Amino acid sequence: MWPPDTDSKSLVPTFKYPFSLANKRVYEGGWSREVTVRELPVSKSMAGVNMRLTAGGVRELHWHTAGEWAIMLYGAARITAIDADGKSFVADVKKNDLWYFPSGIPHSIQGIGADGAEFMLVFDDGDFSEAETVLLSLPREVLSKNFGVAEGALKNLPREELFIFQTDVPGPLEVDLAAAAGSFGASLENFAFQTADVPATKRTKGGEVLIVDSSTFKASKTVAMAMVTLRPGGLRELHWHPNADEWQYYISGQGRMTVVATGNRARTLDFRAGDVGYVQKTLLHYVENTGDTDLVFLEMFKSSYYQDMSLAQWLAHTPPELVRAHLHVDKETLEAIPKDKIVVIPG
């Protein structure tokens, strides 16, 4: 109910927006809702789309003017694309798997699980809107000339975008792979990433962090991720990011984040599953699990690589007399500060 005493009267801009308040576009094959700079003005570098597809539901063939990074939240989906050389890509993804399609790469997504799929899309442009994608709705006479087929054969083409539509669940992956390969063959670029194949980057009694950027997921050239799990009482240590703003999505649990801005201003907000958070580049912040279950959230960055700075590590590796003069602490207290980056602190 009450924020910490350290919260300033002159607050930093709000850095929270719940997806539950976002407008939902509903179709026979699923639904979609987005949080962009329109809903969260501070979020200038990234935008997010939460999408749900039924079994067989399809996000129609399209491409974007921004790069699309995604994580599977539930179920399973089949993704398709062609690379810049015209070679095909088809893959199945399940919970916590990732994919990345660079801007201009045409692709589709289809729910294939028994109950379809839900996923979070993150775009490397805060002004991006899922409603402004490039689709296949074109004049029939142009398509007839372009494809070399009779115009009458195209009489049933949709006149408007489908966006999301319902169709049958596809067959085995191997069948689609063979059918899509064509004369150019399969793409050598892997647009998908299986998180189950890699261990946690950092693990303590307080939780764990999995970092995935272009060093491990080669296709993801403009977006880096840290998936953070905090046990009850756990703390994502005081830190900041020198290379990019941080866009957050809270997957499960509940927590509290404080952001410290210039001029000794601070603001604290509570978060729960479905909320979006945002921290501007270089601002000090921390996240604490305030619930009785694990808190799981994403840290997303418009960058090819992940980077953070630890407050504890900085103080521990600065001349001790200088730090003591600043903080007014004794030698024993200063020596107790961890020398290495902790990332996740036990409760």
Catalytic positions, written as ranges? 299
Q: Cα angle at 260 between 314 and 67, to 5 degrees? A: 90
Measure the CA–CA gap between 44 and 84, rounded to whole angstroms.
28
Short-list 119, 120, 125, CA closest to 102: 125
Full 3-state SS string of 115-184 = CCEEEEEEECCCCCCHHHCECCCCCHHHHHHHHCCCHHHHCCCCCCCCCEEECCCCCCHHHHHHHHHCCC
**Residue 18 burial by Cβ neighbours in a 10 Å radius (0-12, 13-18, 19+):** middle
Measure the CA–CA gap between 332 and 112, rounded to whole angstroms.
58
Measure the CA–CA gap between 44 and 216, rounded to whole angstroms.
26
Measure the CA–CA gap between 257 and 288, rounded to whole angstroms.
6
Stretch (H or E) spanning 107: strand 107-111
The number of angstroms, rounded, from the C-alpha of 109 to the middle of its chain's C-alpha atoms is 16
Task: Assess contact for 83 and 189: CB atoms under 8 A.
Answer: yes
Measure the CA–CA gap between 43 and 39, rounded to whole angstroms.
9
Short-list 257, 300, 327, 339, CA closest to 14: 257
The helix/strand/coil state of 116 is: coil
Strands 68-82 and 47-53: unpaired
Short-list 341, 342, 339, 337, CA closest to 326: 337
